Amino acid sequence: MEQVLARDVMKDRDPRRYGIPDNKITSDEYRTVQRQARGWADNWFTDKDVAAWLRVGVRHDAAAALWREHGFDASSAAAWLDIRVQPASAAVFTAAGVTPPMLQTPYVMKGKALRGGNLTLKQALEHQDVTAQEVCSELVRLGLVPRQARGASRG
């Protein structure tokens, strides 16, 4: 695990730093890597898991653990991470059959502030104008998500 984290540290290193070999980390970086490795290990991540989470841009064990708590691995979380959706909302969307591209639908929900009318459902979610459940209901109303997918998620 330390090797995976050390490679990540070397990759993100400022190229203007002179005197540091490209294939080694400094003692300060090593202490950081050890601390990070303990955090990942405490959350029961393997080297393979850590490498996958680092590839999709998750640098902290707590963030990866939160995604895993909501039923995601690095590959299934990648699409939601790309559009910066929170794990809890992503879990609601996945259960309802909503995909990330569906969140680019124009936001025109009756009875809600439209903020000039140029928002997408994702932007309305970011601004906390709507909840994830309301977005799912709106997509079902618009016919973009089949009613069966939404009903199946209710358990």
Kindly give, in sequence order, each residue whose CB lies less than 8 Å from that of residue 152, ignoring residues fewer than 6 positions away: none
Is pLDDT of 149 > 70?
A: no
Q: Which of 13-17, 87-91, 112-116, 123-127 has the lowest mean pLDDT?
A: 112-116
Mean pLDDT, range 58-62, rounded to an integer? 94
Quote the number of domains for the chain.
Answer: 2
Same domain, 55 and 10: yes
pLDDT, position 3: 85
Q: In the chain, which residue ranges form alpha helices assigned H by DSSP?
A: 2-11, 27-42, 47-55, 61-69, 74-82, 87-96, 121-126, 132-141, 147-152
pLDDT, position 83: 94
Q: What percent of the chain has pLDDT over 70?
A: 83
Q: What is the pLDDT of residues 96-134, one digit of tens each?
A: 999 999 999 888 767 666 666 678 899 889 988 889 999
Torsion of CA 100, 103, 105, 109, to 10 degrees: 160
Its pTM stands at 0.76
Domain boundary among 22, 55, 82: 82
pLDDT, position 111: 63
What is the maximum span of the chain, computed from C-alpha positions, in angstroms? 62
Closest CA to 125 of 155, 154, 98: 98
Domain boundary among 54, 82, 110: 82
Same domain, 111 and 126: yes
Same domain, 36 and 96: no
Q: Could you give the CA distance from residue 107 to residue 123 in angstroms, rounded to a whole number?
A: 8
